[in-house]
Amino acid sequence: MPITIKKFETYEVIVPAHEGTIESKGINKPLHKLPSGATPSYSIQFDRLPKLILKMHLSNGIIGWGECYRDHNWAQVEAIIKVLLGRDIHQLSLQKLPFTFCREYDGFECAIWDAYAKCHKMRVVDLLGGAVQDKVKIGAWSSHRSIEDIGPLVSNYAEMGFDCIKFKTDLEDDVVAWCTEIAKVAPGMQVILDPNERWQYPGEVRKRAKVLEGIGNVLCLEDPLPRWRLNEYALLRSFTSVPIVLHVSLPYILHGQRIKDAIQAIQAEAVDGFNFNGGLANFQRLDHIATAAGLPCWHGSELDLGILETMYVHSAAAASSCIWPSDIFGRLIRTHDLLEEPLKMEPPYVYLPDGPGLGVAPDEEALKQFAIGTRKFA
């Protein structure tokens, strides 16, 4: 008997960050890298933008949960739902769903894989071929900080058990002073510096990289230059021993980011590893590329909520190349993850959930608390 997609319920939510967890007081540098409507990139802080939680009902009573990336497009959401309603879930190709790739794709993919796995009493990770690790390395995170905040911030994360912290940075930040202070207060703490391409010029990167190399606690530089300058990435690798990383974020469709970016970076000998962002099927494709090339990666994020983060844990657990600290934060940054029980985190690791599907249940009271709107489609 067919098992059809019967209904969708959507919860549009805004979940703010804990006070002080994004950046230092007096700093105002929004991180949303994409335009929002007519508002340009880097003008809205990520926790002010809505996210969409998807509750997909099957005809056999099973529910699949999904979560879209922030600032979803309702026209795309409605069009995808129209395609899916009435479809037999077993007639869908999980690796190529029957709608165009867009920022909303991964949220629906998450719900479909969750429901499909539950139908077969399997975990999502089993649909990926099974886990190669039952816990995933994770790191702490911060945006831009004053030097006065660095010591207390990093000391706190070190006491929690973290051994790596990632910072957003631009040319105004004194990253040498940051890393010097970190070496003093938390000698075992490694640092990922992520300029989001905003160090702009090769000379600026070289000037910082050589000094950072001497401090010795920088795990890698992520996207130090505009991504199209792969030749300069390759030259940086020959200049410094600090590893150079490319962020391949497939949801950044507007920026033209694609799976082939990883292949081109490898061909150009431009990187020492990757930060990969994407859905279940595409992250596995990227992992296979990195694994074949003998390069490490981590799973990136957009500082998401619990459903997407759980999807990331399943993806990372099935990925041989995913050995660097992933961007999975639970309730560290945002005030809620919208899960009944948070992911099991024992820094510097998060554990793969047990149970069918994603292995987590949303907190429906929290959904109502943070919802700014709900809709039903049948």
pLDDT at 42 > cutoff 90? yes
Dihedrals phi, psi of 202, to nearest 5 degrees: -55, -40
pLDDT at 1 > cutoff 90? no
The confidence score (pLDDT) of residue 246 equals: 99
Q: What is the mean pLDDT of the chain?
A: 98
Q: Domain 5-123+363-377 maps to which CATH number in 3.30.390.10, 3.40.50.11540, 3.60.15.10, 1.20.1260.10?
A: 3.30.390.10
Contacts of 237 (CB under 8 A, 6+ apart): 244, 269, 270, 271, 272
φ/ψ region of 57 (left if φ > 0, alpha if ψ in -120 to 50, else beta) reads beta
Q: Using one digit for the tens of pLDDT, what is the confidence trace for 76-123?
A: 999 999 999 999 999 999 999 999 999 999 999 999 999 999 999 999
The confidence score (pLDDT) of residue 197 equals: 96
Q: Where are the domains of the chain?
A: 5-123+363-377, 135-351
The confidence score (pLDDT) of residue 304 equals: 98
Q: Using one digit for the tens of pLDDT, what is the confidence trace for 303-312?
A: 999 999 999 9
The rounded distance, in Å, linking the Cα atoms of 151 and 159 is 12
User: What torsion, rounded to 10 degrees, do the Cα atoms 193, 331, 15, 68 define?
Assistant: 70
Residues 77, 228: contact at Cβ < 8 Å? no
User: Which CATH number is 135-351 given?
Assistant: 3.20.20.120
| Per-residue burial over 313-349, b = 16 or more CB atoms within 10 Å of its CB, e = otherwise | bbbbbbbebbebbbbbbbbbbbebbbbeebbebebbb
The rounded distance, in Å, linking the Cα atoms of 340 and 182 is 35
Cα Dmax for the chain = 65
> Please, which pLDDT band fits residue 330 given cuts at 50, 70 and 90?
confident
Residues 338, 53: contact at Cβ < 8 Å? yes
Tokens of 294: 């003998």
